[in-house]
Structures are given as structure tokens and as C-alpha cells.
Structure 1
Amino acid sequence: MNEVAVNQSDLRQRFASREDEDDERGREEVLIEKLDRFLSSIESRLDSFERYFKLKDKAPDDLKVNVDNTLSESRRNSNASVNSFKSLSLSLVNISTIHQRLRLIKDSVLKSSISNLENLYSMLDDQYNYLFNFNSVVEEDREEKVTNRELLSEKIITTIQYFDEKLNHVDKLISDRIPQATTNYESPAFKHMRFHNFNKALKTSEKGYLHYYQLPLSWRENRYIIYGYRFSLKHSDMLKSIFRFDHNESMNIWTHAIGVLILVYISVWQYPSTTVYQNNSLKDNIPVYVFLFAAIGCLVLSVIWHTYSCFAKLRVRANCACMDYTGITLLITASIISAEYCSLYYHPSLLRTYIIFSSLCGTAGLMFNWSPFFDKPECRLIRIMFFVGLALLGVSTFFCQVYYEGFITSLRFFFPTLYKSFLWYWVGVLFYGGLFPEKWRYDVVINEDETCSHSHDSKDIFQGVEHSGKEEIEEIVCEIQNEGQDLRNESENSYKKNDMYKEILEKHFPSRPIRTPYHKDFLSLWWVDYVFQSHNIWHICVLFGVIGYYYSILDMFIALQSK
């Protein structure tokens, strides 16, 4: 009997423990959903404020509005429930201050997220008190530091609810003053959906890699690469992933990491052992090493970008993308200068002019890469024209040499660069621009929208990355506009509108990709997520193109030395 009683007690404890775990899991899911919605609402409200400031004649710092008593309530009262408010006197709210604080809150939520609930709650609590507790009364007993994850989740959810209540009043104030300045923050449209699924993706990534549809839209690059995405706020996780070979960036990282080792070997051992090096003067060897060091820098920066391509801190990720652009600029500039040096070797005045101008263009390119203005979509054509123009600058030296030495001599001089180097680049462009072979995969159904056009071509190389996430944002806007044409009356069609939004979210954020009956067949290209996707092939072609260009420079110097 005693054994039976003990077993029953043990079973009850297990069931109770399991129920507690289920409750905690459910509470965490609610918190994640609330945080993701809160991020979307902040994005929309920031957009609303910016419209408001543009439409207002006065400067934002002077825009102050009276707020009713409900806006100046405190949310804490030790003698009442958590949901009750304590009425305080009328106060003024500076809209530009709310705008600035919302930006700060958004950045903080993206940095802390669910990985550090204590910091997240402290930040939200402080910002709420700063914005909406206008009384000068200091709370007698500030709550003790909360470390329990369950209590923190509840408090964060409650704080978010209070934020929404107060910000709804601000929305109404803006709407009353300038109706056209406001937007519907509940609408999953345009950039308001950029961070949808952010916290959910972070939580899911703790158990393994993500698939494409689990990523927030701002992190989506290539809709044909489905599995094997990393997503973390920790630098250590990104760095450790370099030595893991089971995610979809492994081959992109290691093709260029191995390339760095090859170029270091060439720089330190192989080139010094050549007859070209021994016959060249120190001045003649400098352009060769400039090219080699620029190529090494390009590949290193590419490794950094692909290591951090799924880093959850968007600003750090964007900076790493700029590093990748910088590497491309360095490689093109150094390639041009080395070609100029060889082709205009016997024309020092013109050579000096070319090198100075090329260096200035390369420096300007570095400024473009790190400028927020030139990273905007409307500047895409400028970026493309810059890189193409920089490359054409090198081609122009061919015509200079034709003028001085004739067409046949010049063609023989430059021809090795075509089949040893540029041919590899062009092959890589074909794969990259066409998204081959992953575009042919049929192991899963790829989510594409025929009504909203999207494109990817070879010019996107000069942007550095694909842009499927931006296209999906545009698709969402397009779908909302198309589906919403017959839903003009919100009061009568609110249920239909909710269903419409739900369908759009289910389409762009399905729980799992739809597998075809052929998902295990080798020819269905299920493996393309991990090896020999278009970007992998582009990297291999770039490496062969760089090595080929190095040998082309050697051929140029051999031709010069034979004269």
C-alpha cells in the first residue's frame, strides 16, 4: 500500500510538473506573439509620426498637444489590482519625444528580445514611466528586482498592453489634427511587417536551424533556399557556426576562406619564387601585391558577411553587408590599377593620371558603400552604374594601348585576362543572376506570387545580396490592395478583413514548407540548400577569376620584360 501511495504521489508530481511546463510554454508563446505585434505597431506608428511631422508647419520639437486624464494615468497602485489606474493631473506630451522614445524602444526590443527578459522588462518599464507617468510623486516602494521568468513574462505582457492603451490615445490625437498623417497600425502592410516573427524565430532557433518562412522578412534573401538558416543575437553563435558544416552558408564561408589561404600562399611563397618577381623592380612588384592584398581583403570581408548574414541585430548585419560591398570595390579598384600599370608602363605621365583617378574613384566607392543614402532602393541604379563605370575605366586602358601600340599587340597583351579571369566572372554572373540551380528545385513548393512581379538578375551582384524579403513586403502590400478593393466599409467587413490578413500571414509565414512527393529524390535538388547553390557557384567562379587574373598579370609582365 505504501508503495502504491508513493507511486501515485510521484505520478501526481510529474503531471503537475508537466502542466507547469505547458503553462510556461504557453505563456512564453503569448509573450512572443505580443512582442512581435508590438514591434509591428511601433513600426507603423513611427511611420505615422513621420507623416505628421512632414505635414505640420512647425518643427517637431514645438509640437505639443494636450492629453486627457486617461493619458496621464499611472499604471501602478499598491492598493489596487495590476489592471487598475491611478488618475493624475492633466499634462502635456511632446509628440517628438514619443517618436524618439519609440525608436529607442524598437531598437532595445530588437537587441534584448526574449533572450534577456530582465533587461527587456526594465527598459519597457523605464520608458513607460518616462513617457506617461507625469506626476512628480516618486513610488515609495519600487518593486524588487524580478528574476523569475514566469513573472517577467506576465509583467512584460501587461506593460505592452498599457503601452498600447496610451499610444492609442496618441494615435487619436494625431488623427484628429491631421487625419492623413495616420495609418492603421494593425494592418500587416509594407515595412510594418519587417520584424514580424522576429521573437518567434529567435526562440525556434534555440532548438535548431530555421526554414525560409520562419525568418522575419528583413532577413529573407533568396526564396529558393529553404532550409538551414541560423538566427541569433549572440556573436559567439555566429562565430561558432563557421566551423559547422550543416547550415546553408557553410559553403559560402569556406569557398572564400580556402581562397584566402590560397592567396596567402601565393603572396608569401609562390609569387616570390617566380622569374617575374625576380626580374621586376620593387616598384614593379607593388601593383601585384596591391592586387593580391585587395583580393585577400575581398574574400575575408565576404567570409565576415556570410558568417553574419543571419545575425539577428539588423544594424550589425547591415554593416557586414557594407563590408562585402567594400571588398568588391577594393578588388575592382586594385584589378584596374594593376592592369593600368602594365598597359601604360612606358607612358608614365598618363599612367600617373590613370592611377590617381582610379584611386579617387575607388575611395568614392567606399563612401558609397557606407552611406545610408546610397543604400536606398532608389539609388540602386547609381550603385550599378558606379561599379560598371569603375570596370570600364580599366577597359579604357586597352584603347589607350591600341592608340600607342596598335590593335593586334594590345589584343595579345590583354587576351589572357579574358579566358583566364573574366570568363570565370561571367559564368558566375550567369548562375548568380539566374539563381541556378536552386530555381529548378522541386522537392518543395516555392511560394511565389504571379500577380505581383519580382525579378532577380545579374545586376543584383552590385547590390551584394538578393532581395526576396523586400519583394515579399511588396507582395503583401499588393495582396492587401487587391483583396481590399471590395472591403471599403470596415465596420461591415471587419471579419472579412481579419480573414484576409490571416490568409496573407499564413501564405508568407507558413509553419513549414510544403514538400512534394519527390522531396527525397536527388534530382529534386533538396541538397541545394547546403551545396552548389547559385551563390556557392558564384564564389567558386570569383576565386578562379581572382587566381586567373593574377596569372594574367604575370603574363603582362613577361610580355613587358621580353620587349
Structure 2
Amino acid sequence: MVFLQLQRMGRDHEISNDTSGSSETIENHHLSSGGKGKRLWKKVKYQLVEYHSLPGYLRDNEFIVGHYRSEWPLKQVLLSIFSIHNETLNVWTHLIGFFLFLSLTIYTAMKVPRVVDLNSLQHFPDVLKRADLHKIHAELMTCLPSLPHMPDLQKFREELKTSLPSMDMLPSWSSWHLLEQLANCLPEPFSHGNHSDVCVLRSMKEDVVNIIAPLMITPITRWPFFAFLGGAMFCLLASSTCHLLSCHSERLSYIMLRVDYAGIAALISTSFYPLVYYSFMCHPFFCNLYIGFITVVGVATILFSLLPFFQNPEFRSIRASLFFGMGFSGIAPVLHKLVLFWNQPEALHTTGYEILMGFFYGIGALIYATRIPERWMPGKFDIAGHSHQLFHILVVAGAYTHYRAGLVYLKWRDLEGC
């Protein structure tokens, strides 16, 4: 009996020695292959997951089934901008849009203030050649002796013939109010030389407009246009950053979603500024009324978006309806503009752009709210083609359309003033 017990104890000791030896072997193996194990662990830890594995705050669209990032470290989240997941195109569609509008802003700041409708001035040297400039000069001095010193118009005529289309040499004189004074105080049409039956221009007012106006072009204020460009850049960059960083943590997601909503409200609000300011710059009451209204609505929308329940998936339709309603309110100033300037081609031109912009924004909001096309085939549009990506593309298209409208407004008001 004692012998059997001793034999059993010996076997147990051998087993324990084998076990400890195998543990040491496994530990040594891990130490020797630590690099490979660490890399393997990272691959497992930062793998993409499916919708049902997400924490509650990341669950937004059940029709996008997989390829989610979930609570990754900030470094990995930032690096994921160069990897493939269901937010990759959401990030890049608006990031590329941001750089597009940054380039447009720089171009506008450098080039647009000096833009003149050169096509309308292509016959300008001929008008100068046919006009009796010395006579016009004498009349101007008689009419307005306080007029600033004018260059030798004959010399200017010869220089202008060789300098167009470069408009840098044109002096910037006074304002359109001075132009109106000139037109009102000068006599009736001049005739050129012996050709009494051929008027140089139909009236002296047209003489002034065609000869003096291009010299007096003073660009109107640009702040409404740059406010729109700033709102567009803020919206696009905020959206891109939100889609990139929201998967890091619940707190960061909470912050970024609100910045994203603020960007949308800023884009819609500032889109009104060029439309309202340049359409009603000669009607201050309506200009202040419309700009004040959309500013108050925009600020109220931003404050409402700070409420915690606003980001819940069940409020998707309410969010879309709120932003859609902000854009829809732009119909009032557009119709008012058409009533005031129904005979102005620029008014019709800009309205066409604004209708196209509204179409892009409206279709984008509808796609966003209905989650088409992924609701028809869940899981098929996880990487590319789902509703949010289409919404982003339409937002960029709408904003660019409004930029084109803004250029028309600037040229219109620069050349005509109030």
C-alpha cells in the first residue's frame, strides 16, 4: 500500500515537472515570436465589425451591415483615412470638396475683384476713336469743375487700343453716384465732325456710360460672397472630420455630430447672403429683413442640434426636414427678386442657378432621409454607393452651383451698382 502511494506521488511529480517545462517552453516561444504575435493581435483588435457588434451610439443605419470601425484608438482612427471601410468615401467626398472651395476662395480673392466683362468692352477702342474726346472733356470740366484730374484722353485712347484685355491700368475713380451726376448734367447727343447724321451715341448719358463707366468701376463689397465660401468650407471640413473621428469614443462622437449639424446650418444660412445682399442692396429694409431672418433661424437650428436626443436615429427624418425647411425658405427672396428685376437677364440667370442648387440640396436631403439605395439591398452598398455618400456629392454640387450664381451677382452689381 505504501509502495503504491509512493509510486503515485512519483508520477505526480513527473507530471508537474512536465507541465512546468511546457509552460516555460510556451513562454519562451511567445518571447521569441513577440513581434509576430503583436502584429497579429493588432490585426485582430482593429478589425472591422458588423452592425450588431456596435455600441449603441454608433448604430445609425441598420441597412449598412458591415465594415464598421468601433472604438479604435485615436492614432488608428486617423490612419484609417487611408484604409477601406464604410466611412472612407464619406470622409473623402467632403474632404475633396473642402479643398475645392479653398481653391475657389483663393481664386476669388486674387482674381474676381478685377474681373470686368471684357466682351462688352471689345468695341471700346472704336467708340473712343469716333468720339470727340476733347469736346467731352471740356464739357465735363464745365459741368463739374471739381472733377478729379483726368488723364489726356487722346493719349489714353491710344494706350487702351494696345492694352486690352489687361485692365490693370484703368484708374479707380469715385462711385456710381458721380456717374449719375455726369449723365444728368451733360447736354444732349454730340455729333462727330461733319457726319451730323451719325450720332456717336444716342445720348450724352450713353457717352458717359460707355466711355467713363469702365474707368470708374469700383468693386462692391465681397463679404456676403466670402461668408458663403467660409460657410461651405466649414460645413465640408466639419462633416469630413466627423465621419473620420466619431468611431473613437462616445464623447468624441457626441461632439463631432454637433459640429457636423452646425456646419450644415452654417452652409444653408450663408448661402442666403449673396442672394439677399446683392439682390436687395438698393433696398436696405428687405436686405436686413431676409438676412436677419435666416441668421436667426440658423442660430436656432444650431442650438436645437445641441440637444442630446437630436442625434438619435429615430430623429433622422426630423433632422432632414429641419434643414430642408431652412433651404425651402429661400423661395421668398428669390420670388421677390424676380418681381423687382423681372426684366434683368442677370436676375433670371442667377435664379436658374438657385433652382438647380435647391434641386441638388432637396434630392440629397430626400436620399439621406429615406436611406436609398441600401434599404433595397442591405449589405450591398456598405463600401460604396450608400445614401450618405450620394448626399455628400449632391451637397458639393449644390454649393458649387451657388458659387457660380455668386459670380454672376458680382459682375452684375460691379457693372451696374444700385
TM class by smaller structure: 0.5 to 0.7
Instruction: Give how far 1:533 is off.
Output: 1.8
Distance 2:69 2:294 in 1: 39
Q: Kindly tell me: are residues 385 and 246 of structure 1, through their superposed partners in 2, closer, same or farther at Cα, counting changes over 3 Å?
A: closer
CA displacement, residues 521-548 of structure 1 (integer Å, 9 cap, x when unaligned): xxxx4xx222222211111111111111
Name the counterpart of 1:292. Answer: 229
The runs of 5 or more residues in structure 1 that have no matched partner are: 22-202, 445-524
- Residue in 1 that maps onto 2:283: 347
Question: How many pairs are equivalent?
Answer: 290
Question: Which residue among 2, 15, 22 is the counterpart of 1:13?
Answer: 22
Q: Which residue of 2 is the match for residue 247 of structure 1?
A: 85
What's 1:214 paired with?
53
| 2: CA distance, partners of 1:534 / 1:287 | 31
SS of 2:221's partner is helix
Q: Is the 8 A contact 1:413 1:559 kept in 2?
A: no
User: What CA deviation, in whole Å up to 9, does each residue of 1:151-183 have, x standing for no partner?
Assistant: xxxxxxxxxxxxxxxxxxxxxxxxxxxxxxxxx
For 1:224, what is the secondary structure of its paired residue?
Answer: coil
Q: Which residue of 2 aligns with 1:548?
A: 401
Superposed, 1:8-407 pairs within 5 Å as 13=22, 17=26, 206-232=45-71, 234-242=73-81, 244-269=82-107, 272-274=110-112, 284-311=221-248, 313-372=249-308, 386-406=322-342
Residue 132 (structure 2) aligns with: none
Tell me how far 1:329 sits from its aligned partner: 0.5
Would you say 1:418 and 2:355 are equivalent positions? yes
Amino acid at match of 1:553: G
Match of 1:536 in 2: 389
Q: Deviations over 1:484-523 (max 9, x none)?
A: xxxxxxxxxxxxxxxxxxxxxxxxxxxxxxxxxxxxxxxx
C-alpha RMSD of matched pairs (Å)? 3.7
> Whose Rg is larger?
2
Q: Specify whether residues 364 and 337 from structure 1 end up closer, same or farther in structure 2 by C-alpha distance, changes over 3 A only.
A: same
CA distance in 2, matches of 1:258, 1:398: 30
**Cα pair distance change 1:275/1:258, threshold 3 Å:** same
1:10, CA displacement in angstroms?
9.7
- Specify whether residues 265 and 239 from structure 1 end up closer, same or farther in structure 2 by C-alpha distance, changes over 3 A only: same
Question: Which residue matches 2:10?
Answer: none
- Distance in 2 between residues matched to 1:378 and 1:438, nearest whole Å: 17
Call closer, same or farther: CA 1:363–1:281 in 2, change over 3 Å: farther
Counterpart of 1:344 in structure 2: which amino acid? F
Query: Helix, strand or coil for the counterpart of 2:364?
Result: helix
Contact kept, 8 Å, 2:93 with 2:393, in 1: the verdict is: yes
For structure 2, which runs of at least 5 residues remain unmatched after alignment?
Answer: 1-13, 31-41, 118-216
Residues 72-93 of structure 1: CA distance to partner in whole angstroms, max 9, x if unpaired?
xxxxxxxxxxxxxxxxxxxxxx
Bigger shift: 367-376 or 318-327? 367-376
Quote how far apart the aligned CAs of 1:262 are: 1.0
**Alignment deviations for residues 410-438 of structure 1 (CA, whole Å, 9 cap, x no partner):** 5444112223x233223433433342332
For 2:258, the aligned partner's letter is C
* Greater RCO, CA 8 A, separation 6+: 2
In 1, the alpha carbon distance for the partners of 2:393 and 2:108 equals: 21
Q: Which amino acid aligns with 1:539?
A: H
Q: Are 2:350 and 2:405, in contact at CA under 8 Å, matched by a contact in 1? A: no
| Partners of 1:275 and 1:360 in 2: CA distance | 30
Query: Which aligned pairs between 1:471-482 and structure 2 lie closer than 5 A?
Result: none
1:225 is paired with a residue of what secondary structure? coil
Q: CA deviation at 1:551?
A: 0.6
In 1, the alpha carbon distance for the partners of 2:339 and 2:50 equals: 56
CA offset at residue 317 of structure 1? 0.7
Determine the C-alpha separation between the residues in 2 that align with 1:320 and 1:236. Answer: 17
Residue aligning to 2:9: none
- Cα pair 1:340 1:355 within 8 Å, conserved: yes
